[in-house]
Structure 1
Amino acid sequence: MTDIRTNWTRSEIDTIYNLPFLELVYRGASVHRQYHDAQEVQVCTLLSIKTGGCPEDCAYCPQAARYHTDVKVHKLLEVEEVLGKAQEAKQAGSTRFCMGAAWREVRNNRDFDKVLEMVKGVNGMGMEVCCTLGMLTEEQALKLQEAGLYAYNHNLDTSEEHYGEIISTRTYQDRLDTLNNVRKSGISVCSGGIIGMGESQHDRIGMLHTLATLPEHPESVPVNALVPVEGTPLEQQPKVPVWDMVRMIATARIIMPKAMVRLSAGRVRMTLEEQALCFMAGANSIFAGDKLLTTPNPDVVSDQEMFQILNLKPRAAFKEGEAPVHFEQIPSAQQ
């Protein structure tokens, strides 16, 4: 069994990342099988519960108020609407429901009270509940934990060295402080990043090194490929090669063996064969539905077909007594 380590060096991670491609995939697959069922992939749904108007300047994000994009701003959704969307997601095969709000940080106000009600409601459905709401204090994290929040997403985005090229409205340490507050509250940590933002290989390895040397590894590590959006500073960035995605996934799998490695944004631009390579290398989670917050995503029917072709099975929620949902049990949208 591969040891769980939090003392990785950059040099060690660099060596792994730069292994011959097929050797890297083989090692990632081997570690994956030690800790996970290689046929299981968790199906998650991500819903934007408050869209646009964000005061931050994240160069990749169409929800930043300062950029001119086609994103339509809307205030926080009502609790009933969100719970209805969660029920639809569960019926479509998702076992994890993520709620994202375009906030810089959580504020102790009526909107936060509504989010707590949403968390309680989704938790009551037997789904893993995740939120991504921006910066979070320890007190706020505890309130979310008491409401039943299972995971909190707060991505590092990139390396500390490259961070200033992407974001100026909050610091790298702000992100690490939020992760620490989440960890102290007892909520599981979801944190990864985005590749394709003009970063170097050194930056990619730096981001993985930061994640893998936290006191505890994140339980969930999303690997996103940039989806360039017109109107943002990164709109002209080229498509990320699948080989880079696979290297990131396999390296993350090897250095953080127990984590759920999530094949996240950018999947809409990948073929079935390219996604299969990612699963082979150690990815074991996807986001389902036609949209990830504001960017496009493969539709449910395409994912159903992919699961059938690759003989994958949806992973059950971590709640006790939650039965796994199988795609073949889900009515096709074409029927």
Structure 2
Amino acid sequence: MSGLLALLDDVAAIAKVAAASVDDVIGQAAKAGSKAAGAVIDDAAVTPKYVSGFHPARELPIVWQIARGSLKNKLIFLLPIGLLLNEFLPFLITPLLMLGGAYLCFEGAEKIVHIFSPHHVDADQPADLIQDPTHLEKQKVSGAIKTDFILSAEIMTIALAEIPDGSIWMEAATLAVVAIGITVMVYGSVALIVKADDVGLMMANEGRFSLTRAIGLGIVKAMPSLLKVLMTVGTAAMLWVGGSIVIHGLKELGVAAPYDTIHHLAEGLAHAVGTAEGFMMWLGTAAMDGVAGLALGLILIPLVTRIIEPVWAMIRGKKATAAGH
């Protein structure tokens, strides 16, 4: 009997330790996830543009495909890679993040150039859908998952940096909670945004009260403008996050001049305004990071389109020819 009671005491002690570990993981995940808020906002703002223009019946399946790809990015690729780099090659994390940030700057700048190009064609126009909707959907999902990979890498790295030193299993569990929680939050929000017009249409057509119908009609009318705003915010956020990653990375590598200049200018702006100094300093920093990101992206456009992409296409062509033989 005493042996059984001792065993029950041991089980209870193990359960308490397990419960405490779960609490620690959740607490650390919440703290780490909050530090990645900028990249999370970027992710949520960028994604709706990949769904815009498709038939309503395809919107949620597309969001699900992107969300599934995002989870795969975080859990299968980025989580183990982040842990291994942090453990064995921590000096590579900053350069890799800067490479990802440069890609975001390139993509954001490219979108702005396309908008102002005289031959600009809206990628979401119905003609594209009529020509080959299946191919366009695959292309959009692939592009969204590729962009998500960069943003997810930033989120996971920021989260990893905020986790207190401990066992690799605790770090892995915390990162997994961050990955799942942020993915659910981001793509749940995206699903609500892209289906809001359908909900509004249903309210406008089937609402029992005039107020309900009026609200539904207002939602329907507001959604196109909201989606355009989100696309604009998404592009701006790409440049902001990308520029910020590169500038902070340069500081980590010993080139602090860009970071210090932006910091001092933002500090001066905040003091000049005199009210809400914390917010004004953040706003000034984000704006200057975005301008720096745009400048870097504009520099990268000819480098990527005239050198990197042709060389990559040539390499792929040679590989395809070799495989054919």
Q: TM class, shorter-chain normalised?
A: under 0.3
Higher helix share: 2
**Radius of gyration: which is bigger?**
2
Relative contact order higher in (CA < 8 Å, ≥ 6 apart): 2
TM-score, with length taken from structure 1? 0.21
